[in-house]
C-alpha cells in the first residue's frame, strides 16, 4: 500500500507510510525544481520523463512563477488567507513567503496527503508564524474544511485564496475533481479565489510542430502510471470546467507564463513545451 492508497481517514503521520519503492510525484517535482528531497527511484522516473520531454523542468519552474504572480495579485487585492492544497515538498519561495512579500500578515494552511511532505513541513513551512500543515486528502474536502488547524487559522467569513497547483492532475475522472473543487467553493465566502494549474497533452494553440504529441502523452502517462499517483492530463476545456462556480479572471486559462506576465513572455515553441495551463477564478 502506497501513501496515496491510505484513504482520507488518515490524518496522522507515520514514517511507515513513506513508500520509497515507487517514484513519487512530490519528490519528482522536487527533482525537477533542483531540490534534494528525492530518492533514486524518483530521479530515475524523473529522468525518463525529462528524456521524453526535457521542458518539464521549465514547466515546473514556470508553474511556481505563476503561483507567485497570482498570490501577489490576490494579496495586493486584499486577500489575507491561503489554503494551499497539494503543497508539494517545500521549495523556495513557498506560498507564505510569496504572499508575505505583499502582505506580511497573510495566514497559510498547507495541505498534502504525502507523509514525505509532512516530514518537511515542520522545518520549512510551519516554522513561520500563522502557518499550519494538514496531512489530508483533497478527495475528502470535509476532512480538510473541518480540521481543527484549518478552523483555528482560517476565518470562513473572510475571502480565501484556494491554491490547487498541479494537484487535480493526480485525480482521476472517477475521483470527480470538479466535485472536490465545488465542495471547497461552497464553504468559502464571495470574494474567494481559486488559483489552479494543471498538466495538459495539448499543443500550444496554433503551434503546428507540436512536441506534445499523442505518443508523448501516452509515454508520460505511462511513467506516472508506475508511480505512487497516476497522472491525468486534461485539455484546456476540461481544465476550464474544473473552475466550476469560480468566474475566470482575465486572461482565462492559458499556458502558465501567459497569465499576467511581469516580464518577457516565451515564444510559441517554448510555450508549446510548457505543458501546464493555469488560471485564477473568483467566487462572486
3-state helix, strand and coil shares in percent for the chain, rounded to the nearest 5: 40, 15, 45
Applying CB under 6 A, does 113 fall inside the site for ligand SAM? yes
Q: If we measure between CA atoms, which residue out of 229, 219, 186, 208 comes closest to residue 42?
A: 229
Among the listed residues 42, 112, 202, 238, the single contact to ligand SAM using CB under 6 A: 112
Minimum Å gap between C-beta 185 and ligand SAM is 17
64-83: which residues touch ligand SAM (CB under 6 A)?
64
Residue 183 phi, psi (nearest 5): -65, -40
Q: CB of 98: closest distance to ligand SAM in angstroms?
A: 11
Helix (H, G, I), strand (E, B) or coil at 260: coil
Nearer to ligand SAM, 113 or 126 (CB): 113
Helical axes 115-124 vs 25-32, angle rounded to 10°: 50
Tell whether residue 42 is a contact of ligand SAM (CB under 6 A).
no
Among 6, 19, 25, 82, binds ligand SAM (CB under 6 A): 25
CA–CA dist 177, 120 (Å, integer): 26
Distance CA 106, CA 81 (A): 6
Q: Is 10 in the site for ligand SAM (CB under 6 A)?
A: no
Task: Tell me whether residue 118 or residue 153 sits nearer to ligand SAM (CB atom).
Answer: 118
Q: Which residues on neighbouring strands pair with residue 83, listed in sequence order? A: 109, 162
167 lines the binding site for ligand SAM (CB under 6 A): yes
Q: Which residues bind ligand SAM (CB under 6 A)?
A: 25-26, 29, 63-64, 85-88, 112-114, 117, 137-139, 165-167, 170, 229
Amino acid at each position: 500500500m502506497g501513501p496515496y492508497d491510505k484513504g482520507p481517514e488518515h490524518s496522522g503521520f507515520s514514517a511507515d507510510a513513506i513508500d520509497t519503492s515507487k517514484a513519487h510525484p512530490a519528490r519528482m517535482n522536487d527533482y525537477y525544481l533542483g531540490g534534494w528531497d528525492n530518492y533514486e527511484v524518483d530521479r530515475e522516473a524523473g529522468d525518463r520523463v525529462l528524456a521524453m520531454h526535457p521542458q518539464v523542468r521549465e514547466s515546473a519552474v514556470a508553474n511556481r512563477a505563476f503561483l507567485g504572480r497570482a498570490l501577489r495579485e490576490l494579496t495586493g487585492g486584499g486577500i489575507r488567507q491561503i489554503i494551499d492544497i497539494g503543497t508539494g515538498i517545500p521549495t523556495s519561495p513557498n506560498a507564505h513567503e510569496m504572499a508575505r512579500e505583499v502582505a506580511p500578515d497573510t495566514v497559510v494552511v498547507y495541505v498534502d496527503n504525502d507523509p514525505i511532505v509532512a516530514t518537511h513541513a515542520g522545518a520549512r513551512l510551519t516554522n513561520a508564524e500563522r502557518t499550519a500543515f494538514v496531512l489530508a486528502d483533497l478527495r475528502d474536502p470535509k476532512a480538510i474544511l473541518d480540521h481543527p488547524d484549518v478552523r483555528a487559522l482560517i476565518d470562513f467569513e473572510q475571502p480565501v485564496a484556494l491554491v490547487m497547483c498541479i494537484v487535480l492532475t493526480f485525480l482521476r475522472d472517477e475521483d470527480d475533481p470538479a466535485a472536490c473543487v465545488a465542495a471547497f467553493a461552497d464553504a468559502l465566502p464571495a470574494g474567494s479565489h481559486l488559483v489552479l494549474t494543471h498538466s495538459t497533452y495539448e499543443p500550444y494553440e496554433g503551434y503546428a510542430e507540436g512536441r506534445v504529441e499523442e505518443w508523448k502523452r501516452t509515454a508520460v502517462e505511462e511513467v506516472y502510471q508506475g508511480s505512487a499517483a497516476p497522472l491525468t492530463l486534461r485539455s484546456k476545456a476540461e481544465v476550464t470546467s474544473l473552475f466550476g462556480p469560480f468566474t475566470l479572471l482575465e486572461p482565462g486559462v492559458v499556458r502558465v507564463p501567459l497569465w499576467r506576465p511581469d516580464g518577457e513572455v516565451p515564444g510559441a515553441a517554448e510555450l508549446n513545451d510548457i505543458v501546464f495551463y493555469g488560471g485564477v477564478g473568483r467566487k462572486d
